[in-house]
Amino acid sequence: MNILVTGGAGFIGSHVCERLLKQGHHVWTIDDLNAYYDPAIKQGRLRHLQALAKPFTFVHGDITDRAAVDELFASVRFDQMIHLAARAGVRPSLLDPILYARVNVEGTVNLLEAARLSGVKKVTIASTSSVYGTNSRLPFSEDDPIFTAISPYASTKLACESLGHVYHHIYGMDVCVLRFFTVYGPRQRPDLAIYKFCKLIAAGKPIPVFGDGSTSRDYTYVDDNVDGVVATMNREFGYEIINLGESQSVKLDYMIELLEKQLGRKAIIDRQPMQPGDVVATYANIEKAQRLLGYNPQVKIEEGIRRFVSWYREAHGI
């Protein structure tokens, strides 16, 4: 199949592209290589994909540029679109909510409209566990109320979910929305906690810990996440929202302990107050993913951290 993966130079996007290429699909990606973090990291991921010597095409473009999006869809007859491109991160969205709204909401509209006009019938959209906001009922279920978002990022992803429903309801597009839960692993974004903590601990520098260490996250290893993404491709949903998590909630203190064990160094803790927009815990109910996708995450946090640190050492020559 001809598959468009938006944001394919990103962390999760590059892994999705790699899996699809190895499965024999023709893959295109559009990515603007923005400076949210060092563009050289994204270029390195693209070189990795290009080195696979598979049918992969990179388009340097911005999804908020309607003309660029239309040109891409006019040049290729796509069978499906996996929409991963977005401005990510809760804390950065507090600093520039207008940018997040433009990229995440306007960009998604541009892509959905171009897909509709070119006859693409199946779309997978990445959302986030952040949409659950201050929900205190654990684990998070797709049927839980989602009207308590506490960051611009979460609000924009809720808008994307809603747009997906509009394009299903009005135009008959098959849309699956996947709510990701703290994905980590090789080629991870450098701004995310596991990467950042690993780098600082390895260098003997303090790590910023917001709160008392009791906050918890459903850390999802990237290979498991990709399993869920590609599983959507061969199924029809109409419109569905599905959690993709590891279905375990790990305390921040324990995650730091695992990094210390793998690095062989104690962390220097720089204790800081909780940040606006942060939630206390995330924890995915994955019964729906198991039922509809055959989703069965395999990598627990202990093994995932071991794999991540092994990759980090190799990537940085440690």
Amino acid (1-letter code) at residue 284:
A
- Structurally, at CATH architecture level, domain 2-181+221-246+283-297 sits in 3-Layer(aba) Sandwich (3.40)
Per-residue pLDDT, 277: 64
Cβ atoms < 10 Å from Cβ of 298: 11
Q: Return the C-alpha torsion angle 151, 154, 158, 159, nearest 10.
A: 70
- C-alpha 3/C-alpha 37 separation (Å) is 26
Contacts of 6 (CB under 8 A, 6+ apart): 13, 29, 30, 31, 63, 81, 82, 83, 84, 85, 111
Are 137 and 144 within 8 A, CB to CB?
Answer: yes
Among 122, 92, 107, 119, which residue's Cα sits nearest to residue 230?
122
Strands 216-217 and 26-31: unpaired
Of 244, 248, 249, give the one whose Cα is nearest residue 294. Answer: 244
221 catalytically annotated: no
Question: CA–CA separation, 193 vs 207, rounded Å?
Answer: 9
Neighbours of 116 (CB within 10 A): 17
CA-based nearest residue to 67, from 35, 30, 21, 41: 30
**From CA 241, how far away is CA 128, in angstroms rounded?**
11
pTM: 0.95
The answer to whether 135 touches 145, Cβ cutoff 8 Å, is yes
Name the catalytic one among 132, 153, 184, 195: 153
> What is the three-class DSSP state of 183?
strand
The answer to whether the CB of 2 falls within 8 A of the CB of 115 is no
Whole-number Å distance between alpha carbons of 224 and 42:
21
Helices 301-315/193-202 angle, 10° precision: 60
CB atoms within 10 A of CB 40: 8
- pLDDT tens for the chain, 318 residues long, are 999 999 999 999 999 999 999 999 999 999 999 989 999 999 999 999 999 999 999 999 999 999 999 999 999 999 999 999 999 988 899 999 999 999 999 999 999 999 999 999 999 999 999 999 877 688 999 998 887 788 999 999 999 999 999 999 999 999 999 999 999 999 999 999 999 999 999 999 999 998 877 889 999 999 999 999 999 999 999 999 999 999 889 999 999 999 999 999 999 998 888 777 677 889 999 999 999 999 999 999 999 999 999 999 998 877
CB-CB contact of 293 with 231 (8 Å)? yes
Which residue has 């008392």 as its token pair? Answer: 212
158: nearest Cα among 282, 34, 241, 280? 241
